[in-house]
Amino acid sequence: MTRRILLMIAVVFFAAGTAAAQLREIYTIREIEVEESAGSVIQAQQQAFASARIKGAYRLFERLTLPEDRSGRLGSGSVSAALADRLAAAVDVEKEERGGGRYVGELAVVYNPSMVRDFLNERNIPYTDQTAPKSVVFPVQSGGDAYAWNEAWPDASRGRLAPFETARGNTATVSSGWETLSGDVLAADARRAIKAELLGGEGSYRVRVVSVTAAGETDLGTTNSAATLEDAADLAATLMEEAWKRSAIIRSSERTPVETTILFTSLPEWNSLRAALARSPLVFDFEIAGLSRQGAVVKFAYAGDRQRLVSSLRERGVEVETDDMGWVMTSAITRTPS
């Protein structure tokens, strides 16, 4: 029993450290291009840093919110230099050229989560800074150069609300299901596969994005046209983020309390199920009421309707059913036949 408790404590502290690193990455905006001229290089640099803080703030708001929620509440001119300075925690130089009173570079700005949250809350702009379940992206297409489409994707996302890794050397196709894709997904410690199906032709690429878990497939939508494969991959990654924000952003203060039974077959499976619930943006006041070797009783409250919660947990590999015991949750991965 002591060993079991120590293992659970270790998992909690590891998860806390990982969450802190993810939060910093979410609140870091990179590759902000700046070019300023002034009476001296120092003055030009100061102007560039101030400009980067403002540009980065707008990009951060776009990352955390939806267009319809920003409309009328956050337009051009909403962020002054003084406000951007308060929101920012640090400025890092990625590239720079300086001389003759001119400063050109690419900067990264780290923002203070508490200050940004306060700003958005004061203006009643709904947002989320919680990340979606990690995915493995499988770039697929019916014909054409599959290698080029795969190479257009980065190895992994950076700072996105829907984090992912890209499968390399996989023979996935448009029709591949969970049984084919799950090996790469589980090896990456991810929760779902994303089939990014390339449509259209050169100069007019579109991407159909489909989420695949042990519980089934969900069509997340199709992107607008892009001129290059790299732009198409970026639009697909952005669509993944938009889909996540629409499922995670909460606009109501209403909460529904519930008590549910979680069944599991091992300690890692319990930790996985517990984390899926505790990290869901729709779940509040999560509490463990009882724990045994094969099951647990938990209490929590959830925002929105039941189906929204069920769909959200399904994306995290959790099955929800109702029987005489009330709600029963199990791992969809464990239940999938081998």
Per-residue pLDDT of the chain (338 residues; tens, 9 = 90+): 444 443 333 433 344 445 678 889 999 999 999 999 999 999 999 999 999 999 999 999 999 999 999 988 888 888 999 999 999 999 999 999 999 999 999 999 999 999 999 999 999 999 999 999 899 999 999 877 788 999 999 999 999 999 999 999 878 999 999 999 999 999 999 989 999 999 998 889 999 999 999 888 999 999 999 999 999 999 999 999 999 999 999 887 889 999 999 999 998 889 889 988 888 888 999 999 999 988 999 999 998 888 888 888 887 888 898 776 688 999 877 654 33
Coil, strand or helix at 293: coil
Question: Could you give the CA distance from residue 301 to residue 287 in angstroms, rounded to a whole number?
Answer: 10
pLDDT (0 to 100) of residue 337: 39
Structural tokens at position 149: 């489409």
pLDDT (0 to 100) of residue 165: 97
Cβ pair 102, 152 in contact under 8 A:
no
Cβ pair 115, 52 in contact under 8 A:
no
38-49: b (≥16 Cβ within 10 Å) or e: eeebeebbebbb
pTM of the model: 0.80
CB-based burial label for 77 (10 Å; 0-12, 13-18, 19+): exposed
pLDDT (0 to 100) of residue 263: 92
pLDDT (0 to 100) of residue 334: 62
pLDDT (0 to 100) of residue 275: 86
Full set of structural domains in the chain with CATH: 28-122 (3.10.129.140), 135-248 (3.30.160), 255-335 (3.30.70)
